[in-house]
Amino acid sequence: MSSDGEPTPFEVQDLIPIIDYSLLTSGSANDHAKAVQDIGKACEDWGCFMLVNHGVPETLIQEMMDMSAAFFNMTTDEKLEFEAHGVLDPIRFSAGLNLVNPNKDTLWREYLRLIVHPDFNCPYKPPGFSELASEYVKKTRAVAMELVKGVSESLGFEASYMNRELNLDASFQLLAINYYPSHVELDVSRGLMPHTDHGLLTLLCENGVPGLEVLRGGKWVGMGGVPNAFSVLNSDHLEIFSNGKYKSKLHRTVVTDERKRITLVNPNGPSLDTIVGPSSRLVDGEKRLPRYHPMKFSEYLECQTKLITAGKNALDEIGIPI
């Protein structure tokens, strides 16, 4: 505890909710109800939580980390074969400095973004990468879809409601692999500017090197460090669909550890042609007014990319002044 009685950032990190996935999916009726309640409280109070006992094999995660490192260890020319800049390009590699704030501070990051659902895309090298990534995203998608059912129930809906309303059978899922080189490889500041994610929920897995921070009470708090757990973050379209009840979580990456950091990030959203607005069950013509304009998901993706480049927030642009 600090001298003014406030918890330190490390103590706050210890308070980040932990959800046991196994209780949501295979526990008793009481266990399931408690897990749904805990998910709702975490989404509303924190906008994030740690997910344990998720069933994705630890060996599979480690193999993905190793394969990801092998990709980024390829020559620059080999990686640039997969360079692209469009938000809907199926395979997109990029490397370089990203702007952090108006003072022109920058951070270094390399990334590989793959559209993996409804169609699966992956580089053909290193050998075995595509097969391994396919298995990994199938596992993480199953976890994400079960979590969405729990979120749906926590909002007072039936478990299948959000799936139907947002056409999640054809959902847009990414696998974004972020690579922050070690100081031996590249002696520059490494990280990612503050932002929120598109979609409903983002699942993030790290290689044991810390860096993820979330904004809590006006302070940046480290998130992670729980063995074999996913960091789960509310995303923009969960905030929109819940009409502001479950806020999208602002987060950033700051890597001070000298080792290389690798993250496997799975944003999970509705189908590209779904028009997303506040759920009709959460608004009326009197006290519960809609707080966001409906927008097609694909258009939001394009809009978000342009606004982030301009240092703006897409949610602010589509919100309806209250």
Residue 126: is the preceding peptide bond cis (ω within 30°)? yes
Locate 114 and state its tokens.
Answer: 């793959």
pLDDT of residue 318: 80
Locate 189 and state its tokens.
Answer: 């500041």
Q: How far is CA 90 from CA 65, 82, 124, 176, in A?
A: 21, 10, 13, 11
**Do 235 and 201 meet the contact criterion of CB atoms below 8 Å apart?**
yes
Count the neighbouring beta carbons within 10 Å of the beta carbon of residue 8.
Answer: 12
Please tell me whether residue 242 adopts helix, strand or coil conformation: coil
- Give the separation between CA 60 and CA 58, rounded to whole angstroms: 5
Locate 172 and state its tokens.
Answer: 């847009």
- Give the separation between CA 320 and CA 240, rounded to whole angstroms: 11
One pLDDT digit (tens) per residue for the chain, 322 residues: 444 544 444 445 558 999 999 999 988 999 999 999 999 999 999 999 999 999 999 999 999 999 999 999 999 999 999 998 888 999 999 987 654 444 445 678 899 999 999 999 999 999 999 999 999 999 999 999 999 999 999 999 999 999 999 999 999 999 999 999 988 887 888 888 899 999 999 999 999 999 999 999 999 999 999 999 999 999 999 999 999 999 999 999 999 999 999 999 999 999 999 999 999 999 987 789 999 999 999 999 998 877 766 566 788 878 876 5
Percent helix / strand / coil, the chain, rounded to 5: 35, 25, 40
Backbone angles phi, psi at 8, to 5 degrees: -75, 165
- Residues 295-311: pLDDT tens digits? 999 999 998 877 766 56
- Give the separation between CA 268 and CA 263, rounded to whole angstroms: 16
- Residues 144-162: pLDDT tens digits? 999 999 999 999 999 999 9
Residues pairing with 162 in the sheet: none
Query: Taking the CA of residue 309 as centre, how many other CA atoms within 13 Å lie in the half-sphere pointing to its CB?
Result: 8
